Amino acid sequence: MPEGTQIELSILPSSIFPECRHQAWLYRPAGYDGSTALPLMVFQDGWWFKADDGPWQTPVVLDNLIADGAIPPMAALFVEAGKSNHDHGLASEQRSFEYDSLSDRYVRFLEEAVFPEARKHVTITDDPTKRAIGGFGSGGICAFTAAWQRSDVFGQVFSFCGSFVDIRGGGSYPDIIRQSEPKPLRVFLQVGINAKPSGRFDGLDWPSGNRAMARAFALKGYDYQLVTGEGDFSHIHGVSILPDVLKWLWR
C-alpha cells in the first residue's frame, strides 16, 4: 500500500504544562497535495500507537484503510505525555495529571502548542465531526475529556480500557453525562472484563466504569458502542479491533 510520511514535530514549552517536555509526531497520508483540508485523529501515548515495533502500528493501519477507501485520507497526531525537566521520577504522575484530570487543560494544550506545529505541514479541517481523539487507559479518559470539554474541537472519541474510575474524579462521568444536555459526540468504548489493575489501583473496577459510561450514553441517546473482551488491562483486544473501530468512527 502507498505509505504516508511521519514527521517529528518540535513542540515548544507550554504555559499550560510548564517545566515539561512533549514529543509529537505527525502522520501525513500518501499523495497529499498540501492544500486539501484533512480530517484529523489524535492519539495519546503517541509512541505506543506509532512505533514500528510496537503493538499498534497505527500508521500501517491508516495506510491500509485509506488505500482501501474504508476511511478518508487524514492526518494523525501521535502525542506523548509530558516529561518533567527536573529528574524527580514523576513522569507517571505528570501523565496522570495531564490525562486523568477532568479539566480543559489538555485540549487547550493541543490547540495552542501542537496544532500550530502540525499546520506547518498539513491543512487541518476545522469541522469537529471530522476530528477524532483516542487512547488507552488514562489516554482513553483523556480523549473523552478533551471532546467533552470542547465538542467544538473533537466530535469523535475512542477509548481502549479507558480509566473511567476514581483516579482524579473520572468515576463521576456517568452522573455528569446523565445530568447534562447531550453533546454532539460519537464514542467507542472497549474494555477487557478482567481489567482490574492492582497495586495503587487495587479496588478500582475498569469494566464497571466503562459499563456505567455506556448506560449513561444509552440513556441520553448518544451514538456509541461498547465492546468487551475476555482479556485484562492489555492492548491485545484493542489492537485486534482497531481497523474496525476506525471504520465505525468514520463511517
Instruction: Share the mean pLDDT of the chain.
Output: 95
**Cell numbers placing 85:** 525537566
Number of structural domains, the chain?
1
Q: With 60 as the cut, is the pLDDT of residue 116 above it?
A: yes
- The β-bridge relationship of strands 24-28 and 5-9 is antiparallel
CATH number of the domain at 107, please. 3.40.50.1820
Q: Cell numbers 497520508 correspond to what residue?
A: 29
DSSP secondary structure, the chain, as one string:
-PPPEEEEE-PPP-SSSTTEE--EEEEE-TT--SSSEEPEEEEESHHHHH-TTSS--HHHHHHHHHHHTSS---EEEEEPPPEESS-SS-HHHHHHHHHH--SSHHHHHIIIIIHHHHTTT-EE---GGGEEEEEETHHHHHHHHHHHH-TTT--EEEEES---STTTTGGGHHHHHHTS---S-EEEEEEETT----GGGTT--HHHHHHHHHHHHHHHT-EEEEEEES--SSSHHHHHHHHHHHHHHT-
Q: With 80 as the cut, is the pLDDT of residue 147 above it?
A: yes
Q: What is the pLDDT of residue 90?
A: 46
pLDDT band at 198 (very low <50, low <70, confident <90, very high): confident
Q: Give 49-58 pLDDT, tens digit per residue.
A: 999 999 999 9
Q: Give 164-196 pLDDT, tens digit per residue.
A: 999 999 999 999 999 999 999 999 999 999 998
Q: What is the pLDDT of residue 88?
A: 56
- The residue segments making up the domain with residue 61 are 5-249
Cα distance between residue 230 and residue 163, in whole Å: 17
User: Model pTM?
Assistant: 0.96
Q: With 70 as the cut, is the pLDDT of residue 87 above it?
A: no
Backbone φ/ψ region at 87: left (φ over 0), alpha (ψ -120 to 50), beta: beta
Q: What is the pLDDT of residue 202?
A: 86
For the chain, report the end-to-end CA distance as a whole number of angstroms.
Answer: 21
Cα distance between residue 192 and residue 211, in whole Å: 11
Mean pLDDT of 126-133: 98
